[in-house]
Chain A
């Protein structure tokens, strides 16, 4: 990531023509080649930008960025105030929702929320097709594979069915039954789960976190 703060003017030619008059601005040249010109305001949208692939030519006080569509940004640098480069590496990505992972953590910490007498064998129990969220033993010692979702839909039941198929091949574990757990489970997913002998349970995230709701219910 190259970060330049400079007094500059910018001209764009392409689908339309645009001109940014001379002013101090932030120019970002990202590792993938994207170029973005920002003012000191606004949360995210650059004043001007060009996505990769493009070609950046650094001339004497004038940079030109062109792309295969014939668009061209000309940046005229009058004074460079700062110019630094940083290696940021690969970004881990945006985690929009940590609820699912937190649900797994909370239920692993207290399996009796799932059913009386449940004991945790392991979180993220590995199988050949991926890890099962929780592997538990019920009060009778039967192995239970628990799949946890924020919203319980049919594909979650399918996923658990595949895990059960693999887990039941293990003579040390079988018979393994399934439990599908979510904050809310769609009616179709309940029917499919019941049809496959998989039990299901809706859990209250706030209650698990110890945040008692102030809304009282009739039942």
Chain B
């Protein structure tokens, strides 16, 4: 295998594929490498840890087709260290030679025949607008759990809803639901659970792209953005029945400027210094008061103009979860619907129904 390409293009491709590379290779040391396959002028770089696979196609000036597995970390570090300009890569025997200007290096490659055969995506493809999908991921994915002990909650549910697609994630403290009307990629009643880690990587790839193509298999989902294909294994299991968690009616409704609330939470939470220290929202006809108190450290209050309809109420929330919900809710104004101090509150855009953020309060004395 032998090709020549621009250093910047190769660095970006190695970096993208390398994000799926297994950290230490685990049981399969070859997975610590990036599989490079050259056919004509098309170079495909593939990294995988078997759960997540990222394949990147780039155009190079190919001289000799071939296949090799380059150690990801070393190869990326070497190419990244080079000045911008042309880089030549050639593989002979068990060594890859990377040459640029007067720099030369020889890197021992990994056995290509040990690289696992990866599933091919199905033919059924649906194309979505990348910007809408990226926004939906930005809103929903942070609510997924990072706790591997509950693998179901580390996934984002993608389900057919009406004539569109619904994304749902929860870590049991909060729940984010986003509808994408018109994006019918699933059959009625069909749903899949996609690992949030894969969707975080996808969100990173979607920046600036126009379209994303989705293919759903029985066990994998594949997303294609430009020359990058991301394939992830689906999580098996039943997602919690989230519909029953959303209160049907709320006696209290607060309407407040989104950015003003976000800024106030950012300031006040600086006095929530201990883990599990909440920010209290005092809601009355006078508006909204945010309070955070950490014993032996200090306290912060901030009063905000807001419309409130309902009984006077103080509800406490985890400040990070509250802030995340406020930040990802669209629109200039949000509504916060509450029942009481111990029942889930709902954050929505004022007048908008496509996104919902359900947040459990924190119990305070």
Is the CB–CB distance between A217 and B360 below 8 Å?
Answer: yes
Is the CB–CB distance between B148 and A215 below 8 Å?
Answer: no
Is the CB–CB distance between A214 and B362 below 8 Å?
Answer: yes
Cα(A202)–Cα(B150), bound, Å: 11
Interface size class of A (residues with CB under 8 A): 10 to 19
Cα(A213)–Cα(B173), bound, Å: 13
Is the CB–CB distance between B173 and A214 below 8 Å?
Answer: no
Q: When A216-B361, A216-B363, A217-B360 are in contact, do A186 and B149 touch as well, CB less than 8 Å? A: yes
Interface residue A130 (Cβ < 8 Å from any Cβ of B): no
**B interface size (C-beta, 8 A):** 21
Against B, the Cβ 8 Å flags (1 = close, 0 = not) of A193-213 are 000000000100000000001
Is the CB–CB distance between B361 and A202 below 8 Å?
Answer: no
Q: When A214-B276, A214-B363 are in contact, do A219 and B245 touch as well, CB less than 8 Å? A: yes
Please give, as numbers and ranges, the residues of chain A lying within 8 Å of B278 by CB-CB distance: 214
Interface residue A88 (Cβ < 8 Å from any Cβ of B): no
Interface residue B175 (Cβ < 8 Å from any Cβ of A): yes
Please give, as numbers and ranges, the residues of chain B lying within 8 Å of A216 by CB-CB distance: 173, 342, 360-363
Is the CB–CB distance between B318 and A215 below 8 Å?
Answer: yes
A-B contact count (CB 8 A): 41
Residue of A nearest to B360 (CB): A216
Is the CB–CB distance between A218 and B360 below 8 Å?
Answer: yes
Interface residue B344 (Cβ < 8 Å from any Cβ of A): yes
Cα(A215)–Cα(B362), bound, Å: 5
Against B, the Cβ 8 Å flags (1 = close, 0 = not) of A4-48 are 000000000000000000000000000000000000000000000
Interface residue B23 (Cβ < 8 Å from any Cβ of A): no
Is the CB–CB distance between B170 and A218 below 8 Å?
Answer: yes
Q: A214-B364, A218-B170 are in contact. List 12 more A-B contacts (CB 8 A).
A: A202-B149, A214-B278, A214-B363, A215-B173, A215-B318, A216-B362, A216-B363, A217-B360, A218-B175, A218-B245, A218-B358, A219-B240
What are 26 A-B pairs at a CB distance below 8 A? Answer: A185-B149, A186-B148, A187-B149, A202-B149, A214-B276, A214-B278, A214-B362, A215-B173, A215-B276, A215-B318, A215-B360, A216-B342, A216-B360, A216-B362, A216-B363, A217-B172, A217-B173, A218-B170, A218-B172, A218-B173, A218-B175, A218-B245, A218-B344, A218-B358, A219-B172, A219-B245
